[in-house]
């Protein structure tokens, strides 16, 4: 049975809730890149408000901490039901009293689940899941900017976040509570629930995706029966992203979860997992928006290799097949990934791919875009890669020699030329005999060419 590696317990963003989160728990294994970008500029509503029946007037309930033990569960349940009422956040002054009551109730629920023991009893499960579903499951609104570019544009932020955040926080605390019993939860957190949860990853709001990521990871870790289903649905989301829509905001987050899932795969790898690598992860490299999730994708790919070295050839040949033809920015990313791969490659696997690989590297070195050439030449600064090259100098040097020699004479960029000189020097020291042979045959060939003309 595979076990996903542990993500540190976390609260994805420090909440403005009524209680403070211990600072040790704020440490989160995930990068916060997306969080920093999120500046409140415009916010959007969800489509759910049209289904809202006439507003119910909320009345404040007694505080949970003041309730006698006998009435605690009943009150908890009432608060959950109260939190099922949805408010219109586009109209920021509408029903302020009701919003405040719900916010206070959610805060109390979060605190109660996080700190007291024995609160989560069986009858509360369906109520809690219902409250969560009613609040978070909604059709995401159309993007206000049809050409939304996740790299350039500000994301549209969810207007109802003041409540939504607390609901997510509650869900997370619920899943992480020591009282949480998967055997009870699985009746309510079922396939349909998970599918809706996965669809929310398309949210433009990075804060929401951050929560979803941690929550899905917990669900995957605790509800074993859903694992295969979750993987399959993530597969489908990726395939739709690659071959149909090219748009899905949560690819990076899903890949991050997968990274830890792959890490926990049992050996030998099942064919399902290999198929996922070859038919989903590798084709993901073709996406236009690769830069947004490339770090996570490369991490997944390298995880696979570390699990099972025999997939190396599939990976390298796959990357070579999808090598960017015109986008130099992507080319630099590919080269970065190749270096990460070479960092952990087994020498026996290296031999199997060195030929096509170094043909591509030679092509990159002769790229007129100096960043591409530079990135490729940096490989020679990596000691492990250098040792692999040295061992296979007889094969590799003839593949790159002509390019190195030519580019050293022709490239417009001085940095590239000096990098190439270093590389040529390294080769000369590695195998001076071969180097000299190649130099003279190269010169003869050049002569012949001139002669033919």
Other Cβ atoms closer than 10 A to 26: 13
Mark residue 77 as left, alpha or beta (left: phi above 0; alpha: psi -120 to 50; beta: remaining): alpha
CA distance linking residue 137 with residue 193, whole number of Å: 9
Does the footprint of another protein cover residue 227 (CB under 8 A)? Answer: no
Does the footprint of another protein cover residue 192 (CB under 8 A)? Answer: yes
Other Cβ atoms closer than 10 A to 38: 18
CA distance linking residue 205 with residue 200, whole number of Å: 10
Does the footprint of another protein cover residue 244 (CB under 8 A)? Answer: yes
Contacting range for another protein; rule: CB under 8 A; set: 97-105, 239-247, 381-389, 435-443: 239-247
CB of 235 to another protein, least distance (A): 8
Does the footprint of another protein cover residue 41 (CB under 8 A)? Answer: no
Q: By CB under 8 A, how many residues form the interface with another protein?
A: 17
Question: Of 19 and 243, which has the nearer Cβ to another protein?
Answer: 243
37, 41, 42, 240: residue in contact with another protein (rule CB under 8 A)? 240
Task: Give the residue from 402, 391, 396 showing the smallest Cα distance to 439.
Answer: 402
Contacting range for another protein; rule: CB under 8 A; set: 48-56, 99-107, 201-209, 211-219: 48-56
**Distances 312 to 147, 305, 355 between C-alpha atoms, Å:** 36, 6, 14
Task: Give the residue from 443, 435, 347, 334 showing the smallest Cα distance to 391.
Answer: 347
Does the footprint of another protein cover residue 271 (CB under 8 A)? Answer: no
5, 43, 45, 439: residue in contact with another protein (rule CB under 8 A)? 45
**Distances 73 to 17, 65, 66, 156 between C-alpha atoms, Å:** 22, 12, 13, 38
What's the CA dihedral at 389, 390, 391, 397 to 10 degrees? 70
Does the footprint of another protein cover residue 225 (CB under 8 A)? Answer: no
Question: Of 22 and 146, which has the nearer Cβ to another protein?
Answer: 146
CB of 301 to another protein, least distance (A): 18
Does the footprint of another protein cover residue 55 (CB under 8 A)? Answer: no
Q: Write the DSSP assignment of 2-44 as a string of letters.
A: --PPPPPP--SS---SSSPPPGGGG--SS--HHHHH---S-EE
Does the footprint of another protein cover residue 51 (CB under 8 A)? Answer: yes
61, 72, 239, 434: residue in contact with another protein (rule CB under 8 A)? 239
CA quadruple 394, 396, 397, 398: dihedral sign: positive
Other Cβ atoms closer than 10 A to 411: 19
53, 139, 326, 394: residue in contact with another protein (rule CB under 8 A)? 139
142, 268, 347, 368: residue in contact with another protein (rule CB under 8 A)? 142
3, 236, 447, 448: residue in contact with another protein (rule CB under 8 A)? 236
Does the footprint of another protein cover residue 84 (CB under 8 A)? Answer: no
Does the footprint of another protein cover residue 439 (CB under 8 A)? Answer: no
The burial of 214, by beta-carbon neighbours within 10 Å (0-12 exposed, 13-18 middle, 19 or more buried), is given as buried
Does the footprint of another protein cover residue 39 (CB under 8 A)? Answer: no
Does the footprint of another protein cover residue 381 (CB under 8 A)? Answer: no
Interface with another protein (CB under 8 A): 45, 47, 49-51, 139, 141-142, 192, 195, 236, 239-240, 243-244, 279, 283
């Amino acid at each position: 049975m595979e076990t996903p590696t542990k993500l540190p317990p976390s609260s994805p963003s420090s909440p403005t809730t009524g209680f403070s989160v211990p600072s040790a728990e704020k440490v989160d294994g995930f990068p916060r890149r997306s969080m920093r970008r999120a500046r409140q500029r415009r916010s959007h509503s969800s489509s759910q408000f049209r289904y809202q029946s006439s507003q119910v007037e909320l009345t404040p309930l007694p505080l949970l901490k003041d309730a006698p033990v006998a009435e605690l569960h009943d009150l908890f349940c009432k608060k959950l039901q109260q939190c099922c009422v949805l408010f219109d956040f586009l109209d920021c002054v509408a029903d302020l009293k009701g919003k405040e009551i719900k916010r206070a109730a959610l805060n109390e629920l979060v605190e109660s689940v996080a700190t007291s023991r024995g609160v989560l009893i069986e009858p509360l499960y369906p109520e809690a899941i219902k409250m969560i579903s009613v609040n978070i499951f909604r059709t995401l609104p159309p993007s206000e900017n049809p050409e939304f570019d996740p790299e350039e544009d500000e994301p549209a932020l969810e207007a109802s976040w003041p409540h939504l955040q607390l609901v997510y926080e509650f869900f997370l605390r619920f899943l992480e509570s020591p009282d949480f019993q998967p055997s009870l939860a699985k009746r309510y957190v079922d396939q349909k629930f998970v599918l809706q949860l996965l669809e929310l990853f398309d949210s433009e709001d990075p804060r929401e995706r951050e929560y979803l990521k941690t929550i899905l990871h917990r669900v995957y870790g605790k509800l074993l029966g859903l694992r295969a289903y979750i993987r399959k649905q993530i597969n489908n989301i990726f395939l739709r992203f690659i071959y149909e829509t090219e748009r899905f905001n949560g690819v990076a987050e899903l890949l991050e979860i997968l990274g830890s899932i792959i890490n926990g795969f049992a050996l030998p790898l099942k064919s399902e997992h290999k198929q996922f690598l070859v038919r989903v992860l590798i084709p993901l490299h073709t996406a236009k928006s690769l830069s947004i999730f490339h770090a996570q994708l490369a991490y997944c790919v390298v995880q696979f290799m570390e699990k099972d070295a025999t997939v190396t050839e599939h990976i390298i040949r796959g990357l070579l097949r999808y090598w960017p033809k015109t986008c130099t920015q992507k080319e630099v990313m590919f080269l970065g990934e190749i270096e990460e791969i070479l960092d952990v490659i087994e020498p026996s696997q290296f031999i199997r791919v060195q030929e096509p690989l170094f043909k591509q590297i030679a092509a990159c070195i002769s790229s007129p875009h100096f960043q591409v050439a530079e990135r490729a030449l940096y490989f020679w600064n990596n000691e492990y890669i250098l040792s692999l090259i040295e061992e296979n100098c007889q094969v590799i040097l003839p593949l790159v020699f002509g390019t190195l020699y030519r580019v050293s004479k022709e490239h417009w960029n001085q940095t590239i030329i000096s990098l190439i000189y270093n590389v040529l020097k390294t080769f000369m020291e590695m195998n001076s005999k071969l180097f000299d042979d190649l130099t003279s045959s190269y010169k003869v060939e050049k002569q012949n060419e001139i002669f033919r003309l």
